[in-house]
Amino acid sequence: MKKKYFGTDGIRGEVGKHPITPDFMLQLGWATGRVFAEEGHGFVLVGKDTRISGYMFESALEAGLSAAGVDTRLLGPMPTPGIAYLTQTLRAKAGIVISASHNPYYDNGIKFFSVNGTKLPDELEYKIESYIDSPMTTVESSKLGKAKRLPDAAGRYIEFCKSTVPTRLDFKGLRIVIDCAHGATYHIAPHVFSEVGAEVVAIGVEPDGLNINEECGATKPEILAEKVIEYRADLGIALDGDGDRLIMVDHQGEVVDGDELIFIIAKAKQEAGELKGNMVVGTLMTNLGMEVALKKLGVNLLRANVGDRYVMEMLVKHNAVLGGEGSGHIICLDKTTTGDGIVAALQVLAQIQLSGKSLHELKLGMQKFPQILKNVRVNKKVNIDEVESIQKAVKAVEKKMGEKGRVLLRASGTEPLIRVMVEGESENEVVNHVNYLLDEVKKAI
């Protein structure tokens, strides 16, 4: 049965449009409270990023939880992985994240974490949905839930992040530019990296509720690259609005994406004997160059569907410890329970110090294949697997490329688009193949 409200990563949309409205959040808070109240006494954590609508939705969720008789601990601005960590360590009933991640300020959303710091199981999401559409009731006044702030939340998470690298490692001498995207890490990431010894230049640390992810952060690393050159830094770290994505920049101003960072971490873990099963989980979009480079190390790449939820499912299924996406969503399961930009960056810094190599030198261990992704907008849902002319065109391109290239056509899960991706050794060939497939898709639909 398809869920009515929950997507692959919670509930997300434009503020003011159903379901991202105060009245829905009140009902959602109550529904969540009803579900967890059935499990006995406890409290729920509520954290948010820095977008202006977070104030409104925080209050609505708090009121709904109180009406259901559940206590709330308010964390204020806190990275998504920080909320996952605190939910687990404080033994909360659940953790609620008010964030639209890398989206602009006018979007917002809700994500949930279980007591284990992982996404809620499907059965709980179905149960919450069953209450959302029920008439809201209020427990008697003596049983109303109470709310209070958790003033040391940021400090607890800062100490956790630092604990993910050995204390013997000294990062003194490293000059780092950190772009916090005016998001949830603005008051955390600079402290983490300065407290492990690095010299930190912080940008994107002046949130005003409207500038989150605006021309900055992991989705727009161009300004960071300029600052790395300007300050003659060793590298740059770009996080997104809720701190679960990481993109880096080397000392030459070259962007190092999620695939390249996963390769660096994988190689380090393998050398330390910490890469379980000699496997890494990527997605259907993971660059072929990463697969080739890992194979040379004797490491297998497993490909999940696009989305961190699917990466996590495959990690758990195969008892692996490292996975992620080119977008910078990197999961180090031996350190955290979800994607964490700060923790992933620390693992890369640790390898820089241990190897004595720069970020630029480390990324050269993997040569990215030229990869081009283009979209075709459609008016209705199309199952491209059943369109004979499209499949014939795909097979023709695959035959020409052989083992030196890859083709992927898929329907977007969030927009009315068909995504056409080709990668291979020759950029000219890739361009020609993409254009050919685009024409075939347009003709067919």
- Position 414 confidence tier, pLDDT thresholds 50, 70, 90: low
Query: Rounded to the nearest 5 degrees, what angle is found at the Cα of 33, between the Cα atoms of 27 and 36?
Result: 145
DSSP letters spanning 377-437:
E-SS---GGG-HHHHHHHHHHHHHHGGGEEEEEEE-SSSSEEEEEEEES-HHHHHHHHHHH
The Cα 328–Cα 257 span in angstroms is: 6
Q: Name the CA radius of gyration of the chain, rounded.
A: 22
For residue 300, pLDDT over 70 is answered with yes
* pLDDT value of residue 100: 95
pLDDT tens digit string along 80-138?
Answer: 999 999 999 999 999 999 999 999 999 999 999 999 999 998 999 999 999 999 999 99
The Cα 288–Cα 76 span in angstroms is: 40
- Position 444 confidence tier, pLDDT thresholds 50, 70, 90: confident
CATH for 11-150, among 3.50.50.60, 3.30.200.20, 3.40.120.10, 3.40.50.720?
A: 3.40.120.10
Query: Per the CATH hierarchy, to which homologous superfamily does domain 258-363 belong?
Result: Alpha-D-Glucose-1,6-Bisphosphate, subunit A, domain 3 (3.40.120.10)
pLDDT tens digit string along 369-406?
Answer: 999 999 988 877 778 888 889 999 999 999 999 888 99
CATH number of 371-444: 3.30.310.50
- Position 417 confidence tier, pLDDT thresholds 50, 70, 90: confident
Domain 169-256 -> CATH class? alpha beta
Q: Which of 238, 202, 242, 243 is nearest to 219 (CA)?
A: 238
Residue 58 C-beta-side C-alpha neighbours within 13 Å: 22
* pLDDT value of residue 190: 98
Cα separations in angstroms, 321 against 291, 336, 363: 17, 10, 20
Share above pLDDT 70 across residues of the chain, in percent, rounded to a whole number: 99
DSSP letters spanning 219-285:
G-THHHHHHHHHTT-SEEEEE-TTS--EEEEETTS-EE-HHHHHHHHHHHHHHTT-SGGGEEEEETT
> Please, what is the average pLDDT of the chain?
95
- Residue 135: partners with Cβ closer than 8 Å, 6 or more residues away: none
pLDDT tens digit string along 45-96?
Answer: 999 999 999 999 999 999 999 999 999 999 999 999 999 999 999 999 999 9
DSSP single-letter state for residue 142: G
For residue 320, pLDDT over 90 is answered with yes
Active site residues: 101
Asked whether 265 and 330 are in contact (CB, 8 A), the reply is yes
For residue 264, pLDDT over 80 is answered with yes
* pLDDT value of residue 404: 86
* pLDDT value of residue 413: 64
Pairing assessment for the beta strands 71-77 and 43-48 based on DSSP bridges: parallel
For residue 126, the surrounding DSSP H or E stretch is helix 122-132
Q: Do 169-256 and 258-363 show the same overall fold?
A: yes
The Cα 409–Cα 418 span in angstroms is: 7
Query: Which residue has tokens 């190689």?
Result: 267
Q: Which of 181, 248, 247 is nearest to 213 (CA)?
A: 181
Asked whether 100 and 217 are in contact (CB, 8 A), the reply is no
Cα separations in angstroms, 119 against 9, 196, 288, 396, 419: 8, 30, 29, 40, 27
Q: Look up the pTM and report it.
A: 0.93
Pairing assessment for the beta strands 147-149 and 71-77 based on DSSP bridges: parallel
Domain ranges of the chain: 11-150, 169-256, 258-363, 371-444
